[in-house]
C-alpha cells in the first residue's frame, strides 16, 4: 500500500509553488489557458459571501412567572466557560428585553486565569439583569407568583 502524500509537497506542487500556484493542477490549467490564447486571470478577484445563520435553542434552568405576567429566567452556573458566555450573549441579543438572571456558585470567579473580570462583572456587562451567589434572592422570588396565585396582568381587557 502506498503512503499518502499529506504533509509532503509533491514535485508537481513544488514546481507550481515556484510559479505562484498552490497546486500542480492549477499550474497545468494555467498552461492550458495560455496555450489556447485566452487571458490568464488567476486569483485576481475576491467574492464576498455570507455564512448562513444557524438556529440554536437554549433551555434556561428555571422559569418563573412574575406578578406582572412577564417571565423571569434563572440560570445557575458553577463554571461559566467561554462557550457558555458566547451562548449567553447570543441569547440576550436574540431575545431583547428578556429577564435573564444568574445564580453563580462563585460570582467573584475570574472569567480567565489572568483576567480581572469576574463572572458577575461580565454577566452584567453583556446584559444579564441581576446576579446572585448560591441562592435565588428573596427579592427575586417576591417579584413572582406562587402556586395558586394569578399574575396581575394589566393587559387584560374585559367587555
pLDDT at 105: 93
What pTM value is reported for the model? 0.65
**pLDDT tens string 34-90:** 898 888 888 887 777 677 788 889 999 999 999 999 999 999 999 999 999 999 999
Q: Is the pLDDT of residue 111 over 90?
A: yes
* Pair 104, 121: CB distance under 8 Å: no
* Pair 11, 26: CB distance under 8 Å: no
Query: Alpha helix locations (H) across 10-81?
Result: 11-18, 24-35
Cα four-point dihedral sign 81, 87, 93, 97: negative
In the block, residue with C-alpha cell 402556586:
147
Measure the CA–CA gap between 143 and 21, rounded to whole angstroms: 66
% of the chain at pLDDT higher than 70: 89
Q: Is the pLDDT of residue 33 over 50?
A: yes
Mean pLDDT along residues 135-149: 92
pLDDT at 1: 42
Mean pLDDT along residues 120-141: 95
**Domain residue spans of the chain:** 10-49, 62-142
Topology, domain 62-142: Restriction Endonuclease (3.40.91)
- DSSP class of residue 29? H
Amino acid at each position: 500500500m502506498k503512503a499518502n502524500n499529506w504533509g509532503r509537497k509533491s514535485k508537481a506542487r513544488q514546481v507550481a509553488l515556484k510559479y505562484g500556484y498552490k497546486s500542480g493542477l492549477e499550474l497545468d490549467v494555467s498552461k492550458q489557458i495560455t496555450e489556447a490564447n485566452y487571458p490568464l486571470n488567476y486569483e485576481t478577484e475576491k467574492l464576498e459571501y455570507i455564512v448562513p445563520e444557524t438556529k440554536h435553542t437554549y433551555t434556561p434552568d428555571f422559569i418563573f412567572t412574575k406578578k406582572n405576567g412577564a417571565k423571569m429566567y434563572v440560570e445557575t452556573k458553577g463554571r461559566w466557560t467561554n462557550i457558555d458566555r458566547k451562548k449567553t450573549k447570543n441569547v440576550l441579543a436574540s431575545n431583547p428585553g428578556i429577564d435573564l438572571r444568574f445564580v453563580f456558585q462563585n460570582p467573584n470567579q475570574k472569567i480567565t486565569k489572568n483576567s480581572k473580570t469576574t463572572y458577575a462583572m461580565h454577566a452584567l456587562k453583556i446584559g444579564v439583569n441581576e446576579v446572585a451567589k448560591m441562592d435565588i434572592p428573596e427579592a427575586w422570588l417576591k417579584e413572582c407568583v406562587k402556586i395558586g396565585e394569578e399574575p396581575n396582568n394589566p393587559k387584560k381587557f374585559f367587555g
